[in-house]
Structure 1
Amino acid sequence: MATEIKAPVFPESVADGTIATWHKQPGEAVSRDEVICDIETDKVVLEVVAPADGTIASIIKNEGDTVLSNEVIAQFEEGAVSGAAQTQAVQSEEKVEQAAAQTEAGAAPVVERSQPVQDQAPAVRKALTETGIAASDVAGTGRGGRITKEDVANHQAKPAAPVAAPLSVAVGERIEKRVPMTRLRKRVAERLLAATQSTAMLTTFNEVNMKPIMEMRAQYKDAFEKRHGARLGFMSFFVKAATEALKRYPAVNASIDGDDIVYHGYYDIGVAVSSDRGLVVPVLRDTDRMNYAEVENGIRAYAAKARDGKLGIEDMTGGTFTITNGGTFGSLLSTPILNTPQTAILGMHKIQDRPMAVNGQVEILPMMYLALSYDHRLIDGKEAVGFLVAIKELLEEPARLILDL
């Protein structure tokens, strides 16, 4: 008996989604809880899994189609494998046996070539366009020789075969490539543009001597990792310092809602993470109750989920303050854009040795520029500068965090 496969129930902040990839086609056998479809929303990619062992009877929403919350996207046949799937399995086994026999006989195995690019699914056409790979060069493993996204990725990962240098190159030829924005990229663009147009954003700068923290890390990193199973990084120091500074300057932890100012009595700090799909900001909850190891483990877990595309909407919802680290990419100085409705964001940057005057003497110290962008409608310059100076002092004297000074 056929049953309906529906899109997940989207949160209130997500209006709809787009079918990104069908991993299974009608007639293909699937196992219970196997991922059969990816739905891309403004924030995350949601996976749809098979409700039981069986086959996909029919696909109602194709790749590229927009779907609403709980909308039917396919029909599923529970139980026995369909005749089409059985036939496909037999054909696949025959191809494997044929290839093996030819290999034993010294002949090159026959590889079924893919169908033309215009016959492929939208997600596959997009992958081919982005990578610049011709469809005729990819061996399709899908039904009827169709290319899958995995086929494109596997082909791209293969080492390129040596080719002869062209005899002549067209002079003045300029190549352009046009690809559609992903939903996440469009949403990020909209939010960043809205932040610059709807806030009175201003940035103040300072610099911090990282030598004390670097010496502390060098002294305790092995014992810390042995005790807590986490690597002691810089971000935990910044999260804890920012949390303490937010306690001292509540306006920096507040937000504007219409004509009201909302002062948050909790500290949920978002940490900007770069992923293949774009910039995402998962949130560490109640950082005032977290120790350094919990912060490090939380950031590491979010980074792994972002890399694997497993971040959920609940991971990125809320947040009262954000920290972004452009220094991981070599940025020396930048002006971060607000993550609205938050009213402030802290930018970390590259650590660089610079000559500094210390007690009348010139010393070479590892320095980092800090940038605080804030909404001047709510936060005055005095508060912004005081907040940033508090972070600087807490980082340059880590004992202050431990002794609550």
Structure 2
Amino acid sequence: MNPALHVEVVQKSQSRASKDYVMELVRSFLMNFVSLTPGVILSGIDLEDNVELKEHVQSISFCDIEHDSEVSVTETELKYHVFKLDAFGAETDTMTDASTGEEFAAADVWSLPSQEFQGLWESLIYDTKLKEDTVRFVETAFEFADRGVDPNIIGWNRVVLLHGPPGTGKTSLCRALAQKLSVRLADRFPRARLVEINAHGLFSKWFAESGKLVARLFERLDEIVSDRRLLACVLVDEVESLAHARRAALSGLEPSDSIRAVNALLTQLDRLRRRPNALVLTTSNVTGAIDVAFVDRADIKRRVGPPSARAAYEILRGCCAELMGRGLVAPREPVFALRVLEGARFADSEPARASLQLWAVARAAADAAVSGRALRRLPFLARALHARQAVPDLLSFVSALAAALRDHLADAADLDDATTPMPK
């Protein structure tokens, strides 16, 4: 038997059928297939012929870290996950500074799985096993907790640290991971929340009250994690702000209360370690500025850099497919997978010409260390500023992408020149 293939089924919000009933509908539907392709999502027109399935199911996704090619339906175990998406968005917890009366957002709380994060996991593309490793880490951490492994003998904190330059998808990966876990671990945790703590806000200007604010924030968090059947994913973005606050206090630039606030936050994060249903996800844009006291608490520390040429190609390939699917680039034609181009030794041919030119754009973007965020903006800029026709064909659009990349690099160089200090 091959490794299991996870089948994620989004049940329509208006459907009143039980999860077991929907699972049986999907199981029967998939028995008509000889093989399934990981990464494929069936929705809309793909379900048209099955009236009952269409009534209850929004989409069916085949996803697993163990497979990169088609799998046989009869020789592979299928693990089904049926869930509805929360459509209400984030609930913002605000706090008030007692000295000024000003309000600020201390945290955003999401009910998971969320409509807003659906598809985010699949959209994140890395050359490394970053996504796979984070999932395995969390699954192992909860397995150790379930088996009662003594944390005094084997240490683990359920803390993830992602670091690297801005725009590389660190925060998106944390949100996507929380969403993925809310689906995969639903049998253990029927409910899930993502709590995004605004660490930068806590320590940037409210030093006089920051200790109290931290205490009040974690009182709210305690209410959430007290439900043992709820998975609580706590996201601390820009965790380097902890180090900034501590250094500023030690150097006399800020009140000493800020050091107590930072220590209070670290202490509260340590308390979360004793909660079997809590996971701490953190990001940092400035690797050298991360507080060493926090770094030591992180079990897994991974750098997230700009996309490599291969990752950039897959990102742009997905963007082209999306625009062709929406009728903004036409006619619809294939953009070949990189392994197909490699198999043909990148030989020029009419069907492969657009794909080869897209590969050239991806390599140029990778050589210039263009961030994933900027890379995903290029198709919009290409369509807005460089597409000659109202609806360009694929080859013309790829040429527009190349022009948009050149503009982006020129603009970035101009900004660097403008911010470089003049020599004295």
TM-score (norm. length: structure 1): 0.21
Q: Which of the two has greater strand per residue? A: 1
Larger Rg: 1
Q: Which of the two has greater helix per residue? A: 2
TM-score (norm. length: structure 2): 0.21
